Amino acid sequence: MSTAANLAHRDPNCLFCKIIAGQIPSTKVYEDDEIFAFHDIHPWAPVHFLMVPKLHLPSLAQVDDTHATLLGRMMVLAPRLAMAQGCLPYPDGGFRVVTNTGKGGGQEVHHLHIHVMGGPRPWLRG
């Protein structure tokens, strides 16, 4: 599937597809043609945002080799956005990156997302 076809793929019933499309409001942290990032509505930490591919993928369980560049871009972007959002520098500061996958993994929203959490402790959770 071409990149353009991938990016056109949305699930009309998906909460995060609706956020990406601007149909549901969010506090945007970052956007490019493949990736969208926004504040988590129930933050665990002083900094807590979600990074999502614009492509609707239900979870990490559905990724394959065609997604390697996209996922790599997200991981490379995570530390830059974390610092910009107020995470403290490594090694005394840092941040947590989490991707819950499936019911067993605690996933509630079935559009692949990376939680990025950080900032001064104590945190509300975690």
Instruction: Give the binding site for ligand AMP (CB under 6 A).
Output: 15, 24, 26, 40-42, 100, 106-109
30-76-109 Cα angle (round to 5): 60
The token pair that represents 3 in the structure block = 């990149």
Binding partner of residue 100 among ligand AMP, Zn ion, none, CB under 5 to 8 Å per kind? ligand AMP
Q: Are 113 and 52 in contact (CB under 8 A)?
A: yes
Least separation in angstroms between CB 56 and Zn ion: 4
Least separation in angstroms between CB 5 and ligand AMP: 26
Rounded distance between C-alpha atoms, residue 60 and residue 67, angstroms: 10
Binding partner of residue 40 among ligand AMP, Zn ion, none, CB under 5 to 8 Å per kind? ligand AMP
| HEC secondary structure over 18-36 | HHHCCCCCCCEEEECCCEE
| Residue 67 falls in the annotated catalytic set | no
Which residue among the candidates 48, 111, 113, 115 is catalytic per the annotation? 113
Q: Kindly compute the dihedral angle of the four CA atoms of residues 100, 75, 65, 67, in this order, to the nearest 10 degrees.
A: 80
Least separation in angstroms between CB 82 and ligand AMP: 16
Chain residues that interact with Zn ion, rule: CB under 5 A: 11, 14, 16-17, 56, 111
Binding partner of residue 111 among Zn ion, ligand AMP, none, CB under 5 to 8 Å per kind? Zn ion
Enzyme catalytic residues = 113
